[in-house]
Homo-oligomer: A and B are copies of this chain.
Amino acid sequence: MALSNSKREVEESNNNNLGTAGEPNRNTNSPSISFSPVNLKKVPHLTDYLQLENLKIYTNPLDQNRFFHPSHGFYFSPSDVILRQIVYDLSSACEAFSDSDPRVHVAYHRAGPRKQIFFEPKNTRAAIVTCGGLCPGLNTVIRELVVGLWELYGVRQIFGIQAGYRGFYSTTRNPLVLNPKMVRGWHKLGGTVLETSRGGFDLHQIVDAIQTNAFNQVYIIGGDGTMRGAVEIFDEIQRRKLNVGVVGIPKTVDNDVGIIDRSFGFQTAVEMAQQAINAAHVEAESAVNGIGLVKLMGRSTGHIALHATLSSRDVDCCLIPEMEFYLEGKGGLFEFLDNRLKENGHAVLVVAEGAGQNMIPRTAAQTEERDESGNLVFLDVGSWLKTELKKWWARDHPGELFTVKYIDPTYMIRAVPANATDNLYCTLLAHSAIHGVMAGYTGFVSGPINGNYAYIPLEDVAQATNAVNTKDHKWAWVRTVTNQPDFVKS
């Protein structure tokens, strides 16, 4: 069989190449990868639960756009797919194709305009809502949803739900009527003009409001909790057999959502974090035995901290939730810092907010306290580290000068407008979401996979996480760049 043959060839060629001392690191010749069948991730569609006789199909109005002439290849079809896994170890291809590796074979539908759509623009009523904390690019997504629906599809009834999920059923805050003129400069504003809030999720009130307001497209922008809410809304809409498309746009400055390449606002956050790191570096350098300590966003993942560290090159050590660390003893943080201070006279430390949570002593109250999602409240790892550092120095270097400057730039990072990269990303994100909803897809998320925009089942995204895999090839060697301790006790 072709598959096993090709695998064998790979193994053999590798054996040949690596097994001989005289020919290490040589290239393999003509290996093969076969995979069959492709696991194409099905995206829910209105036709899944609605009778066809109740659905009308229209030609995409882009066909009549006065500015361009859709050429061959302009529209996507369901057979346009994108592969999720793109790196392979040819020598271990067997394992790679086992059922236990969920990444193998997986493909997603590509995002983009479809030739036929399921909504008549003049009868389309779209609702947009933002939930949870701020993230650079929120306003760009809103703006582009409005501009895209209006300019490309001719939709004229677009509404902004105010202040999060509770805005659907709020008695004091009516949906805002949105149009391109109104949202014109929003992509240059931080925050969300629609306002946001946490909580307020009341499934039945929300779906009732969707019905009452006759919304037939709902764009939900928010974090993982919000996405889980969106799944419930989608399920309830199916149950009620409503002709309503639901799309989720994951918003997490931490970049902790899975499947997609990265979340919007992340690049801006990494860029803005440089300012804080620069300041910490300057403070540390200008002092005698100065330590600059910066806490960056990242409750469950250290992406911002890691990227900001790699971008900055002024950071001596970066602590993230995915990596255990310890303070005292050989290979510990204190020993490392001691060496750096001796060598350079200063050091810069970046810590993700979720790092070291299990090391910080909790008061009785803190052991009880839970956040809105029922998790233990986060303790301020920055303040704790600052205190521990001072105690350590006073104990080990009594009388010697020492300074720790602690910077928490969280709000100054997340409240800025998106940078150019994120603005472009948010724009394509919004437009691809529109194309999908218009084409009748629902209960989905739009996002980039390996650089191409795809449609992904909402439920998959709501469950996926995106941790820094410290064992992964790439991250392993990336870690060498910083030359910081790996806190592996040897």
Contact = CB atoms under 8 A, between A and B. Distances in A.
Contact of A485 (B67, B134, B479): B67
Contacts of A140: 313
A122 interface: no
Interface in A249-276: 261, 267, 270-271, 273-276
A92 to B, nearest CB: 8
Contacts of A32: 35-38
Interface in A31-68: 31-40, 42-43, 45, 47, 52, 57, 62, 65, 67-68
B411 A67 contact: no
A42 B483 CA distance: 31
Contacts of A409: 409, 412
A157 interface: no
A400 to B, nearest CB: 11
Contacts of A305: none
Contact of A67 (B191, B193, B421, B486): B486
Interface stretch (A78-86, A208-216, A220-228): A78-86
A287 interface: yes
A279 B197 contact: no
Contacts of A424: 270, 307, 310-311
**Most chain-B CB neighbours within 10 Å: which of A25, A112, A273, A485?**
A25
A94 B165 CA distance: 48
A110 interface: yes
Contact of A79 (B28, B68, B452): B28
Given A79-B14, A483-B67, A286 B196 contact: yes
Contacts of A479: 68
A64 to B, nearest CB: 12
A30 interface: yes
Interface stretch (A354-362, A384-392, A468-476): A468-476
A206 to B, nearest CB: 17
A428 B478 contact: yes
Contact residue range for chain A?
A: 35 or more
Given A79-B90, A81-B87, A87-B82, A69 B427 contact: no
B415 A73 contact: no
A245 to B, nearest CB: 12
Contacts of A34: 2, 34-36
A176 interface: no
A81 to B, nearest CB: 6
Contacts of A485: 67-68
A361 to B, nearest CB: 20
A23 interface: yes
Nearest to A441: B25
B78 A89 contact: no
Given A78-B18, A109-B27, A427-B310, A285 B33 contact: no
A282 B190 contact: yes
Given A3-B2, A18-B78, A65-B480, A86 B89 contact: no
A367 interface: no
Interface in A15-29: 17-18, 21-29
B473 A110 contact: yes
Nearest to A93: B79
A27 B32 CA distance: 28
A129 B475 CA distance: 28
Given A33-B38, A57-B21, A484-B67, A89 B77 contact: yes
A471 B73 contact: yes
A420 interface: yes
Given A112-B473, A451-B261, A31 B22 contact: no
Nearest 8 CB-CB pairings of A with B: A191-B286, A68-B486, A311-B420, A191-B282, A79-B91, A32-B36, A279-B415, A282-B415
Given A83-B87, A191-B285, A275-B412, 9 more contacts: A28-B40, A33-B38, A34-B36, A38-B90, A79-B89, A140-B313, A279-B412, A311-B424, A452-B474
16 contacts: A2-B36, A25-B47, A25-B441, A112-B474, A143-B313, A195-B288, A195-B345, A275-B412, A280-B411, A282-B416, A283-B411, A307-B420, A312-B423, A407-B411, A431-B477, A452-B474
